[in-house]
Amino acid sequence: MIPQLSAGIIKDPNALQRVWFAAPAPPRQQDPIVIMETTGGNPVTFYPLEDDAKAESIKLRTTNTGTPQTPVYEYSLLFAEPEHSYVGILTPSLGGHIDRMPVSQSTWLWDVAVTTTSDGKSHTYWATGQSRASNPVRNENGLYRRRPGDMQWERIEVLRPGQKPFYVIADTTAVWLTATSPNQVIRFDLNQGTTRTVDLGTAVPQQLAFGTVGDLWVASSQGLHEFDKNLTGPGSLVRLPNGGGAKGICIAADGKLWYTNPDRKSVGSYDVPPPPFGAASLQGRTQFVYQGESEVHMKDQVAQPLVVDYVANGRPVPGIPLTCRIDAEGAAFEDGTRERVIITDQRGRVALPPVVAGDIREEAVISVGLGNTEPHTATTLNITPA
């Protein structure tokens, strides 16, 4: 029983063979957050909300529950619920428990994002919301922020009067959102508290994604727009080969840009060339952050084998799918596989899942990188007899 509608889908944060949906249900049908297994007949698990609730987006939050020296990562899923006006946090390791952060402003919540402190323990939440004339009536368009320890959301003044925000993403430096009336991409600098905008003319903007070389991509009714992340300059526009406009957008493990075209009811891909804007961009790369045990006995487990981040132009990049591999005869991930694709979290970071040693004495090579587009960052795990 697959959800009839979907406002978002993400890979499982633990790189298991499953995906997560945010699924706004049709009227008079209970709305869930849904896990769908991608093997074994595709069984699903539902996390129901209120009977008339709407899960309008889904994003990943990563929290370090360990120490800076020995990080332990816990994953949660964020979603915006506009009927009852809250941002929800679902943590799978807590049995699907949902924490609710009420939003008191009169706005129809649309999208959410999260920024995280350098120690990985505290989060600032961001949400976009729109005015709405139909029932339930809402009066306000806005970008909203909830800082660590706060119980209330504050409105961040980045919009023009009457401007309506849509999608929002964030990294360690800024928050970006799309808006209409006028059609713009807006960047809010987290350090300076200042905004910068780019006008898109008649192109209606939709979702955003970070590129692999420090660029920003925006889907619109006219195609795909590429900008540098600071929004310095007008950027460039790539028209879709079959016409129509783009809405959903993401980066694949080989660096390709994938998009949905609702006008043509199709999905397409685009090979991203070197950035056309300003000075040449530094090539993105995967780099080492932390390694757990370097030696393990046969048939034992390494809980935290490797943590890496993906960096472009000196900044970590969220949302990049990194390929994680184990080159070994016996050692493998918990599910027996030796290759997984894991998406970098809000700090541009990937923590590899546990590795189980086999019954062979060997030196296993654990590596991470963006597909085959770069030399992988690698480490070795010596597997010895007990």
Across the range 315-322, mean pLDDT stands at 93
Q: Cα angle vertex 327, ends 323, 331, to 5°?
A: 105
How confident is the model over 212-245, as pLDDT tens digits?
Answer: 988 999 999 999 999 999 998 888 999 999 899 9
Q: What pLDDT score was predicted for residue 90?
A: 92
* Of residues 346 and 214, more confidently modeled: 346
- Name the pTM for this structure: 0.91
CA 251 to chain centroid, in Å, comes to: 11
Q: What pLDDT score was predicted for residue 31?
A: 65
pLDDT tops 70 at residue 68: yes
Across the range 268-272, mean pLDDT stands at 91
94-104 exposure pattern, b = at least 16 Cβ within 10 A, e = fewer: eeeebeebebe
Under DSSP, is residue 373 helix (H, G, I), strand (E, B) or coil?
coil
| DSSP H/E element including 45 | strand 44-48
Structure tokens at 162: 């009457």
Least confident span in 2-6, 138-142, 275-279: 275-279
Q: What percent of the chain has pLDDT over 90?
A: 68
CA dihedral sign, ordered 238, 200, 265, 113: positive
Q: What is the mean pLDDT of the chain?
A: 90
Across the range 120-130, mean pLDDT stands at 97
Q: What pLDDT score was predicted for residue 26?
A: 65
How far apart are the C-alpha atoms of 162 and 50, rounded to whole Å? 31
Q: What pLDDT score was predicted for residue 29?
A: 66
CB 124 within 8 A of CB 157: no
Under the banding of pLDDT at 50, 70 and 90, the label for residue 278 is very low
Under DSSP, is residue 94 helix (H, G, I), strand (E, B) or coil?
helix
pLDDT tops 80 at residue 1: no
Across the range 102-129, mean pLDDT stands at 96
How confident is the model over 167-177, as pLDDT tens digits?
Answer: 999 999 999 99
Question: How far, in Å, are 78, 94, 162, 243, 318 from residue 315 at the CA level?
Answer: 24, 32, 34, 34, 10
* Of residues 281 and 70, more confidently modeled: 70
pLDDT tops 80 at residue 13: no
Q: What pLDDT score was predicted for residue 279?
A: 46
Ranges of beta strands (E only) in 229-376 are 236-238, 249-251, 257-261, 266-270, 285-291, 295-297, 301-302, 306-312, 315-316, 321-327, 332-333, 339-343, 349-351, 355-356, 362-369
The per-residue DSSP string of 122-166 comes to -EEEEEEEE-BSSSSPB---EEEEE-TT-SS-EEE--SPTT-EEE
Q: What pLDDT score was predicted for residue 275?
A: 58
How confident is the model over 241-262, as pLDDT tens digits?
Answer: 989 999 999 999 888 999 999 9
Q: What pLDDT score was predicted for residue 372?
A: 86
Across the range 176-191, mean pLDDT stands at 97
Q: What pLDDT score was predicted for residue 356?
A: 96
